[in-house]
Structure 1
Amino acid sequence: MPSTRPRAAVVLSRALRHDVFGPTGWAELTELADVVAECEDSRALSLHPRRHEAEVLITSWGMPRLTEDLLRELPSLRTVVHAAGSIRKLISEAVWARSIVVVSAADANNEPVAEYVYAQTVLALKDVHRRAHRIRSEAELPPLDGIPGIYGQPVGLVSFGSAARKVAARLRHLESDVMAWDPHVPPETLRRLDVTPVAELDELFTRSRVLSIHAPLIPGRTEKLITGELLRRLPQGATLINTARGAVVDEDALADVLRERPDVYAVLDVTTREPLPPDSPLHALPNVMLTGHVAGTVGAERRAMGRLVVEELRRIAAGSPPAHAVSAHASLLRA
């Protein structure tokens, strides 16, 4: 057992606490940390009589931004452990200004994302999406001509963060020609992982039978990064998969391209607005699958994030640095 139990404030709804930790994980957490405040939201935290003692703040989805005003109520805070993926909506400049260590469970959240992309890639290369629609609409069995099959096919990854790395590792089983475009990752790093670096984004689109988007949404930089011009470069029979952020894709242009190119299929787990407005043309297009933000952790999958949080608390209690700390710079590059 560690000699020092950090004082922790936990801001989670009861339902989310159950999903992320369960009875076993919660028992481990309370053994490792002295939970001085257990709150359902940030307002309850800001009024809690022991808020000033909290050295560690444990959060997840739904936690409002850690503004300077809220941080004033947490003078002892040294570490934020976020039991979710991206920290972008949670962390303000005030957090970095106070040199607070920020830990994200994105690595655990990205495991099911990678499984989802792998599964959709297999379905795409088996032409399952289009065939299922044709069987339903035409009541006939389509021919097998033109189906590429799952082995040795070119798959492109837009950005190469944690989720994309996990996707690439899974695709090795399919002997895929995995390519990636990421201006922040050195080409030699990609080559060491058996991934072909592609310098220009338009080239990646031209070469990819399946193209999976993993780029973060950085205001003013990656909004509508995926343009209609790029989408029109996709080869015949290509499939686009987006599990990153909807606004990275120009959705109006995507709808236009999908109307023009019935051979192209789009699997969209994320959209710019969620839920997608009822009048969006993406609802009616036959070459679109909308899966409603299910790629990330759901149900029992969330326990993996809880286990990561517990392990990070174990390191903190032992005086060791967290394994999943995120720097201010790196936070801009996460989806």
Structure 2
Amino acid sequence: MTQDSAVRIAVLDDWQSVASDVVDWTVLDSIGEVSFLHEFPADTATMVARLKDFDVICVMRERTLFDEPLLSQLPKLKLLVSAGMRNAALDLAATKRLGIQVAGTESYKHAAPELTWALIMAVTRNIVEEANSLRAGNWQVDIGSDLYGKTLGIVGLGSIGQRVARYALAFDMKVIAWSENLTAERAAEHGVTYVSKAELFEQSDIVSVNLVLSDRSRGLVDAQSLNRMKPTAYLINTARGPIVDEDALVELLKQKKIAGAALDVFAQEPLPADHPLRSLPNLLATPHVGYVTENNYRMFFTQMIEDIQAWHAGSPIRLFA
């Protein structure tokens, strides 16, 4: 859609105030003006006031909800550009009805599985607790768990889950996996044993959630599954918060029915200051940093710029289906 007038472009969800420096946005000067908005998501009325004058809005996956009540009050909006090619926070039926095009980007495939493994190592070896003890002037406080010979259960053996599996095999772990579409044959191609959902939660020493958020996966790791876990097991979630029943997990951790958990994602982000997950001693929590790496951000923002340029030239690319 070629336009002669200046296009107003908003870059949202830049919570670390780094987007302007990761790539060169001045290449869009000939198209319009780019504004970087660092505020967290708010109620619909506040978001409308914040965004009503923009033609193009760039968003991070699942950080800001663009539902029909918000989209319908943004009459100037013509293009939404999302990091990644999936975004459960965008109402695609509403964007289609309102004539708003939605484009995406590729994702750097290594950041999330690397963080998954960092969290596994951190909880099993008590890294944070031991480091804090040393900083406080003390010494050893606990005994770590070994990975060799243990069983890692992966919920979702997609591109990220496959990488997590390869790391586990390098540690001589047994790797099992389950998802609704996974077959024994496909699991075996990656050196993994296919099991049922119940068997995965019962047998695993560590359960890693590596699914895409969808209507089907929302709440998939439910109370029944969590209560099947061994008392010595750990749950790791670097996928999306709503995949796990958060209330059930909180109760499980409060009652110390499992050894612990490590979460990088939550049902509500940013996590409320008074949320119980902030204070549970057997939980390691990080603020959704799984994809917050230099390479990933560079890919996201470079391709967002490409999407805007292509759309402005009348030949949009990487459109959501």
Shared fold per TM-score greater than 0.5: yes
Q: Secondary structure at the match of 2:122?
A: helix
Q: Secondary structure at the match of 1:285?
A: coil
Map of 1:30 onto structure 2: 28
CA contact (8 A) 1:202 1:230 kept: yes
Within the candidate set 283, 286, 293, 1:291 is matched to 286
Residues 186, 81 of structure 1: alpha-carbon distance in 2 compared, 3 angstrom cutoff: farther
Within the candidate set 241, 248, 251, 2:243 is matched to 248
CA contact (8 A) 1:224 1:247 kept: yes
- Structure 2 counterpart of 1:179, which letter? I
Map of 2:300 onto structure 1: 305
Q: How does 1:2-151 map to 2 (within 5 A)?
A: 10-12=9-11, 19-20=18-19, 22=21, 24-27=23-26, 29-30=27-28, 35-36=31-32, 38-39=34-35, 46-47=52-53, 51=55, 57=56, 59-61=58-60, 65=66, 67=68, 69=72, 73=76, 77=78, 80-83=80-83, 87-96=87-96, 102-105=102-105, 107-108=107-108, 111-126=110-125, 128=127, 141=140, 147-149=145-147, 151=148
* Whole-Å separation in 2 of the counterparts to 1:14 and 1:208: 36
Shift of 1:267: 1.0
CA contact (8 A) 2:234 2:261 kept: yes
Map of 1:153 onto structure 2: 150
Is the counterpart of residue 225 in structure 1 residue 220 in structure 2?
yes
Query: What do you get for the CA RMSD once the two structures are aligned?
Result: 4.3
Q: Secondary structure at the match of 1:289?
A: strand
Contiguous gaps of at least 5 residues in structure 1: 52-56, 328-335
CA contact (8 A) 1:46 1:70 kept: yes
- Name which of structure 1's ranges 237-246 and 14-23 shifts more when overlaid on structure 2: 14-23
Map of 1:332 onto structure 2: none
Shift of 1:130: 6.9
Map of 1:264 onto structure 2: 259
CA contact (8 A) 2:103 2:317 kept: no
Shift of 1:211: 1.0
CA contact (8 A) 2:58 2:304 kept: no
> TM-score under structure 2 normalisation?
0.70
> TM-score under structure 1 normalisation?
0.68
Shift of 1:268: 2.0
Percentage of pairs with the same residue: 23
Residues 208, 123 of structure 1: alpha-carbon distance in 2 compared, 3 angstrom cutoff: same
Map of 1:330 onto structure 2: none
CA contact (8 A) 1:157 1:213 kept: yes
Q: Secondary structure at the match of 2:18?
A: helix
**Larger helix fraction of residues:** 1
* Whole-Å separation in 2 of the counterparts to 1:71 and 1:59: 14
Map of 1:54 onto structure 2: none
Within the candidate set 196, 201, 207, 2:193 is matched to 196
CA contact (8 A) 2:151 2:176 kept: yes
Shift of 1:120: 1.4
- Structure 2 counterpart of 1:296, which letter? Y
* Whole-Å separation in 1 of the counterparts to 2:3 and 2:107: 23
Shift of 1:98: 7.5
Residues 15, 263 of structure 1: alpha-carbon distance in 2 compared, 3 angstrom cutoff: closer
Map of 2:40 onto structure 1: none
Residues 295, 23 of structure 1: alpha-carbon distance in 2 compared, 3 angstrom cutoff: closer
Q: Secondary structure at the match of 1:87?
A: coil
Within the candidate set 225, 228, 233, 1:238 is matched to 233
* Whole-Å separation in 2 of the counterparts to 1:181 and 1:18: 38
Residues 204, 129 of structure 1: alpha-carbon distance in 2 compared, 3 angstrom cutoff: farther
* Whole-Å separation in 2 of the counterparts to 1:64 and 1:259: 31
Shift of 1:59: 0.8
